[in-house]
């Protein structure tokens, strides 16, 4: 198979060593001649040891006093001997992470980063600062008091890129207030598999939606002009390049088997968009594709990312992933060979993170001729370029006193609005909104904790510290109670709760007889279901159905005869098909952050009109997990299916209800026949036919009638969120480049074939004709 052969050849090239020459300065898009001259001069003056040091990244804990490298004493103190080894012997270029896996105050971050930078610069003859990276995932999530937003899956559910850009500006501002200039965000992996424990870190399953949201987030972090030396901006990191989310098993860091045309058509576009937006760094997929770990895949790292897409920044490994080439993937017989394979494939910086052996091995490999100096110079050039672009040589750290808006009301309001626009109403049998004078029973394991509202990467890796750091915010129960006309009418009885000192999926079943007794007294039951926080490998699961305990609680609630509202607080769409008919209303809240409780309560009581739309397909069964862009053969008629076909999700991609009603009319295009270089100008009228103001997401899908490779049933091509007052009508105008209708062929080329296409918006459809065939590539011109 062509793809298998390509990957084998890529591996052989990686083993042999060497990457193609870096782009000449005249081709650089995001740097300046002045910066390039400084970088070139510095690289020429550096020793091999100094260069390799710049390629080495260690975690903060190994620089602190402690009994072992993984943990530090409290309060944390820099270890003089460790600092001397790191910066005077190894010339380390980067540090990451917090200490002891917990958030710290911005003042603490200011002092820690300042002390490290001062020591590194003083003890480096060239005065090179470090670049400090932290997983600031949905806000400055390792900084106490910072503004936390919904996780990326909730951001995607807003379908509002401008809102996401503004939120990323806040993340950059509050991170830089804490002296952190580099975040490992955004995640541009596609959320194509609901089983995957990091699905909530993505922008959903669609390449166009992920590309649009990713570009918006990068603009917010780095600025529209990518002037990241601005002390209110920070460097973004696209991760996890490439195909990380599409594993065969659905489990984290496990093998993927993806044909190259599928990899290019679905998984690559968001990363291409991120590179074009100017992202300065890229993190590599920890897994493997078709038997080749991506960390040693020269074809993907160098030939596609650096050469074809024109990426100018540096590539960093994920945590320990060079070591894992030897211990986990078994493609390197020794740790030294693992370093050789990864660096020769195009990796620029190793997230080691607990020792300095990477540097020792790499120096030996260069001296032995196994890694060419040209590869080292390319990596160091890229790293120094980013440091200069960030302004670290002029301003290696910042101070909180220069950031008066940290944790401000304005930032808080933006986070609340993002949460409000993310919550998605999936079902409403005339129940919502509720009057605020009803007697409510609020139950379920996500009803009264901040931990499931925030998810992982919130104050700690697994999010288990959220109730400690975010205890002043309202849970769902607290927010409902605060908004009730009589707070005493809102009662909490969880029935099922999470075992917070256990694994994320461990639960405690309470007195269910007492739950039934209280349910009988309520006017309505708000059942808060879903998942505890998790991320990465600890979040792997064996069964996508909602837990048996929670399903039993739902059955007991329905048995009371009182109307039941499901509020799903979850990182991935847990299957609810066995109990969904029992609910009168279903809200999907995703992981809405510290203001999620407020947003949920406001929507339940009708203070806010829901406008979220699903960024993924919500499955009906654990064995039917297809994304919406299925092929025609996947929707064949099948006897007994509720929809009459084998494709039968619980809720479709892009679906979401409102308290308003919207009507579509007058769908048209500027012409009916097009050439490959044209842009389709489409318009459609949207009218709010209800008596309530609301927001609607106008979505345009395309369908290729016939193609030489089987076409998908439909693909998202454009969208826009509009606000409409009661009775208001707007003519929404959208543009779609004809090239966006292309598919990735087996020859690696984007391919347009003449013929008919349908453009669909709401229930409307119109056909257009493409007159000419065309092939084109991703190559930067």
In contact, 724 and 658? CB cutoff 8 Å: no
DSSP 197: T
Q: Pick the catalytic residue from 135, 252, 303, 318.
A: 318
Element of type H or E holding 554: helix 548-559
Q: Distance between CA atoms of 89 and 360, rounded to whole angstroms?
A: 11
In this structure, what token pair is assigned to residue 176?
A: 């830089």
Q: Are β-strands 694-704 and 662-669 bridged in parallel, bridged antiparallel, or unpaired?
A: unpaired
In this structure, what token pair is assigned to residue 547?
A: 């837990």
Q: Distance between CA atoms of 164 and 148, rounded to whole angstroms?
A: 12
Q: How many CB atoms lie within 10 A of CB 571?
A: 29
By CB atoms closer than 10 A (0-12, 13-18, 19+), residue 131 is: buried
Q: Distance between CA atoms of 453 and 449, rounded to whole angstroms?
A: 7
The DSSP string of 557-574 is HHHTTS-EEEEEE-SS--
Q: Which of 695, 706, 618 is nearest to 657 (CA)?
A: 695
Q: What are the CA-CA distances from residue 233 to residues 31, 163, 173, 412 (Å)?
A: 16, 17, 6, 19
In contact, 622 and 545? CB cutoff 8 Å: yes
Q: Distance between CA atoms of 199 and 720, rounded to whole angstroms?
A: 24
- R_g over Cα of the chain: 26
Element of type H or E holding 757: strand 755-761
Ramachandran area for residue 765 (φ above 0: left; ψ -120 to 50: alpha; else beta): beta
Q: What are the CA-CA distances from residue 115 to residues 64, 109, 112, 129 (Å)?
A: 12, 10, 5, 12
How many residues in the chain?
A: 781
Give the Cα-Cα-Cα angle 312, 96, 38 (nearest 5 degrees): 40
Q: Distance between CA atoms of 168 and 279, rounded to whole angstroms?
A: 13
Q: Distance between CA atoms of 754 and 750, rounded to whole angstroms?
A: 14
Q: Are β-strands 694-704 and 715-724 bridged in parallel, bridged antiparallel, or unpaired?
A: antiparallel
Residue labelled with tokens 């394991």: 445
In this structure, what token pair is assigned to residue 138?
A: 């949905």
SS3 540: coil
In contact, 356 and 77? CB cutoff 8 Å: no
Q: Which contacts (CB < 8 Å, 24+ apart) does range 644-648 have?
A: 648/620, 648/621, 648/624
Q: What are the CA-CA distances from residue 747 to residues 263, 264, 677 (Å)?
A: 13, 11, 21
Q: How many CB atoms lie within 10 A of CB 636?
A: 11
Residue labelled with tokens 């001259």: 37
In contact, 144 and 123? CB cutoff 8 Å: no
Q: Which of 290, 292, 296 is nearest to 337 (CA)?
A: 296
In contact, 453 and 463? CB cutoff 8 Å: no
Has 704 been annotated as catalytic? no
SS3 18: coil
Element of type H or E holding 238: strand 237-241
| Enzyme catalytic residues | 318
């Amino acid at each position: 198979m062509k793809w298998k052969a390509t990957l084998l050849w890529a591996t052989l090239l990686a083993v042999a060593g060497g990457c193609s020459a870096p782009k000449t300065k005249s081709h650089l898009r995001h740097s300046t001649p002045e910066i390039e001259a400084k970088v070139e001069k510095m690289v020429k003056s550096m020793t091999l040891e100094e260069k390799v040091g710049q390629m080495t990244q260690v975690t903060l804990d190994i620089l602190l006093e402690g009994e072992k490298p993984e943990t530090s004493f409290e309060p944390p103190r820099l270890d003089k001997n460790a600092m001397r080894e790191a910066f005077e012997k190894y010339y380390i270029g980067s540090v990451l992470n917090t200490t002891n896996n917990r958030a710290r105050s911005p003042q603490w971050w200011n002092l820690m980063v300042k002390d490290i930078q001062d020591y590194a610069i003083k003890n480096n003859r060239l005065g090179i600062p470090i670049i400090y990276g932290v997983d600031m995932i949905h806000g400055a999530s390792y900084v106490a008091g910072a503004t936390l937003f919904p996780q990326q899956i909730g951001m995607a559910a807003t379908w509002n890129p401008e809102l996401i850009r503004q939120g990323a500006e806040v993340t950059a501002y509050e991170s830089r207030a804490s002296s952190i200039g580099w975040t490992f965000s955004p995640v541009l992996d596609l959320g194509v598999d609901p089983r995957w424990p990091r699905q909530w870190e993505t922008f959903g399953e669609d390449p166009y939606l992920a590309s649009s949201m990713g570009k918006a987030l990068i603009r917010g972090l780095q600025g529209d002009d990518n002037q990241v030396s601005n002390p209110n901006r920070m460097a973004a990191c696209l991760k996890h390049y490439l195909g990380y989310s599409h594993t065969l098993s659905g489990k984290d860091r496990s093998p993927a088997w993806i044909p190259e045309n599928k990899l290019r058509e679905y998984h690559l576009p968001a990363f291409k968009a991120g590179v074009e937006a100017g992202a300065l760094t890229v993190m590599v997929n920890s897994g493997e594709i078709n038997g080749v770990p991506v960390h040693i895949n020269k074809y993907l790292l160098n030939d596609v990312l650096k050469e074809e897409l024109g990426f100018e920044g540096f590539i960093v490994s994920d945590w320990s992933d060079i070591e894992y080439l030897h211990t986990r993937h078994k493609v390197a017989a020794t740790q030294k060979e693992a370093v050789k394979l990864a660096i020769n494939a195009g990796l620029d910086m190793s997230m080691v993170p607990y020792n300095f052996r990477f540097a020792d091995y790499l120096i030996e490999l260069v001296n032995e001729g196994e890694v060419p100096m040209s590869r080292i110079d390319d990596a160091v050039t890229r790293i120094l370029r980013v440091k200069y672009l960030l302004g670290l040589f002029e301003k290696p750290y910042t101070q909180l006193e220069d950031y008066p808006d940290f944790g401000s009301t304005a930032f808080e309001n933006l986070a609340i609005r993002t949460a409000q626009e993310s919550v998605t109403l999936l079902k409403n049998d005339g129940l919502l909104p509720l009057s605020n004078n009803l007697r409510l029973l609020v139950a379920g394991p996500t009803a009264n904790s901040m931990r499931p509202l925030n998810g992982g990467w919130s104050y700690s890796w697994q999010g288990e510290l959220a109730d400690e750091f975010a205890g002043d915010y309202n849970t769902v129960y607290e927010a409902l109670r605060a908004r009730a006309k009589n707070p005493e009418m809102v009662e909490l009885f969880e029935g099922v709760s999470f075992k917070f000192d256990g694994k994320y999926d461990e639960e405690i079943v309470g007195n269910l007889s007492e739950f039934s007794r209280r349910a009988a007294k309520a006017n309505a039951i708000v059942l808060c279901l879903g998942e505890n926080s998790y991320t990465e490998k600890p979040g792997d699961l064996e069964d996508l159905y909602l837990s048996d305990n929670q399903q039993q609680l739902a059955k007991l609630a329905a048995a009371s005869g009182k109307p039941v509202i499901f509020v799903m607080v979850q990182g991935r769409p847990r299957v609810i098909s066995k109990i969904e008919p029992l609910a009168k209303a279903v809200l999907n809240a995703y992981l809405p952050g510290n203001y999620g409780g407020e947003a949920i309560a406001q929507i339940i009581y009708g203070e806010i009109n829901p406008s979220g739309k699903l960024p993924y397909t919500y499955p009906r069964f654990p064995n039917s997990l297809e994304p919406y862009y299925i092929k025609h053969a996947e929707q064949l008629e099948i006897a007994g299916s509720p929809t009459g076909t084998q494709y039968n999700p619980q809720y479709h991609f892009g679906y979401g209800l409102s308290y308003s009603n919207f009507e579509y009319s007058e769908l048209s295009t500027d012409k009916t026949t097009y050439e490959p270089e044209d842009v389709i100008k489409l318009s459609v009228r949207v009218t709010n036919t209800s008596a309530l103001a609301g927001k609607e997401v106008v979505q345009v899908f395309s369908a290729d009638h016939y193609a030489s490779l089987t076409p998908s049933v439909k693909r998202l091509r454009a969208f826009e969120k509009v606000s409409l007052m009661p009775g208001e009508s707007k003519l929404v105008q959208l543009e779609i480049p004809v090239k966006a209708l292309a598919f990735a062929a087996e020859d690696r080329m984007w391919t347009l074939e003449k013929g008919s296409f349908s453009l669909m918006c709401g229930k409307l459809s119109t056909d257009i004709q493409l007159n000419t065939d065309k092939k084109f590539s991703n190559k930067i011109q």
